[in-house]
């Protein structure tokens, strides 16, 4: 269980006496660069044969997939409610989705006994599967619940690095699927799609990956596709204000359904890898503000050493440049603004010009996106040295309700309250 996450959250149990799961991290520097703390699994790496035995809990204070250690495979999928579908149909859909997610996360077939499981993951265990559900701004219009739509779902501002494709952005409903096994993740994706039935239609889907637990000799922070150690500055669950930064606290009655939940900002950030890889390692490090080999700040120390933003070299120049990504995105430079970054990398082949269509499915979690993501991204937008090497191509903002009690479905307090 992640420290500071509350009773019953992201608990795991091992089935059949198998060993503990391996290392992965909660990662990412704001808007796609290195500069965040990775909350890694505390135990030693697992043999690959034990990965399938690890189970995440569906019920709890928070939904799974937020505090869960970073998984090897991920699918993000957004739906729009079908024409004519409203609150009643949405409630029935969330009830079906919650039931199938609970079964699959426990390593059971997706069917309810009717025999319609595809059998794709028949031989596998839970494999750290998580399924997380969220609501977009338009969901409240479609269901007649505008009065209960929180201010945190106000539209995000535009940024100069945005080249957003509306067809791959936003959506009434959002589902995040993660697992340490590709077939288990795909099985859950198909189950969610099938259970949508006539109530909702797929708006967009994105597929991602990370390092597999147990692939390194010891637990370590993940790397992104730029080769940077990525995730060193995330807020730590053991910090006293972690819950207040990441999760929505008790508030007014109209928004009580969101208590224990969070806001997810989802961005497809393309990395211009051909341009990036032309830079020398020294130049890459100055763009980021950290050493490529181990993620340590250029001001010295190890990966977890606090950055000394005022330290200069013998020539009088700041060791961490003024426009370095790690400097600009740091809480110290953003009034303490912080978010829990938990992304997946992606690679969708080559573009028409032959350049790789690859980068980051950036996902960050916070109690208020206008005190987390927005101020940091605004600061990055004004002079981040990383900006010439990335492009934001899709965007979404979703309110993710708190976790459920046994017998309850996700969103029930909103849809039936």
**Which sequence positions are flagged as catalytic?**
230
The number of beta carbons lying within 10 Å of the beta carbon of residue 17 is: 7
Q: Give yes or no for a contact between 57 and 131, defined as CB atoms under 8 angstroms apart.
A: no
Q: How far is CA 292 from CA 34, 196, 303, in A?
A: 9, 44, 10
State the DSSP string of 52-115.
Answer: GGEEE-SSSSS-TTSSSPPPSEEEEEEEEEPTT--HHHHHHHHHHHHHHHHHHHTT--SSSSSS
Q: Cα–Cα distance between 118 and 177 in angstroms, integer?
A: 17
Of 276, 249, 246, the residue nearest 263 (C-alpha): 246
Distances (CA, A) of 215 to 143, 219, 267, 403, 407: 45, 9, 27, 31, 38
> In Å, what is the CA distance from 41 to each residue of 50, 71, 171, 221?
15, 11, 33, 10
* CA–CA dist 172, 207 (Å, integer): 19
Q: How far apart are CA 151 and CA 99, in angstroms?
A: 29
The residue count of the chain comes to: 417
Report the largest interatomic distance among the alpha carbons of the chain, rounded to a whole angstrom. Answer: 73
How far apart CA 66 and CA 68 sit, in angstroms, is 6
Task: Report H helices in 233-372.
Answer: 242-246, 273-276, 281-288, 325-328
Residue 274 has φ and ψ, to the nearest 5°, of -60, -40
């Amino acid at each position: 269980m992640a420290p500071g996450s509350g009773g019953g959250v992201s608990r795991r149990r091992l089935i059949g006496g198998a060993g503990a799961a391996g290392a992965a991290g909660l990662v990412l520097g704001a808007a796609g660069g290195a500069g965040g703390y990775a909350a890694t699994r505390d135990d030693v790496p697992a043999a690959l044969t034990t990965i399938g035995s690890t189970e995440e809990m569906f019920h709890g204070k928070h939904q799974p997939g937020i505090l869960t250690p970073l998984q090897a495979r991920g699918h993000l999928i957004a739906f729009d409610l079908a024409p004519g579908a409203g609150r009643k149909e949405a409630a029935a859909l969330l009830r079906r989705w919650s039931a199938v997610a609970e079964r699959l996360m426990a390593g059971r077939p997706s069917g309810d006994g009717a025999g319609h499981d595809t059998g794709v993951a028949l031989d596998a265990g839970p494999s750290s599967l998580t399924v997380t559900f969220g609501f977009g701004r338009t969901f409240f219009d479609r269901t007649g619940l505008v009065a209960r739509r929180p201010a945190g779902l106000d539209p995000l501002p535009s940024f100069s690095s945005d080249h957003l494709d509306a067809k791959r952005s936003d959506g009434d409903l959002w589902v995040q699927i993660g697992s340490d096994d590709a077939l288990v993740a795909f099985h859950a994706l198909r189950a969610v799609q099938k259970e949508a039935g006539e109530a909702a239609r797929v708006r967009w889907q994105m597929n991602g990956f990370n390092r597999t637990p147990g692939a390194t000799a010891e637990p370590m922070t993940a790397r992104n596709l730029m080769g940077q150690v990525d995730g060193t500055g995330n807020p730590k669950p053991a910090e006293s204000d972690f819950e207040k930064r990441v999760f929505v606290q008790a508030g007014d009655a109209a928004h009580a359904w969101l208590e224990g939940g969070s806001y997810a900002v989802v961005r497809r950030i393309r990395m211009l890898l051909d341009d990036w890889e032309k830079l020398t390692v020294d130049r890459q490090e100055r763009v980021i503000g950290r050493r490529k080999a181990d993620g340590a700040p250029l001001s010295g120390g190890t990966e977890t050493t606090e950055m000394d933003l005022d330290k200069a070299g013998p020539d009088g120049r700041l060791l961490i440049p003024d426009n370095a990504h790690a400097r600009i995105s740091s809480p110290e430079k953003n009034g303490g603004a912080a978010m829990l970054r938990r992304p997946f990398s992606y690679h969708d082949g080559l573009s028409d010009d032959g350049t790789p269509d690859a980068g980051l499915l950036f996902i960050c979690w916070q109690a208020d996106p206008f005190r987390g993501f927005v101020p940091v991204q605004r600061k990055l937008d004004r002079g981040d040295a990383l900006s010439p090497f990335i492009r934001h191509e899709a965007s979404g903002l979703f309110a993710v309700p708190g976790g459920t009690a046994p017998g309850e479905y996700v969103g029930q307090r909103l849809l039936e309250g």
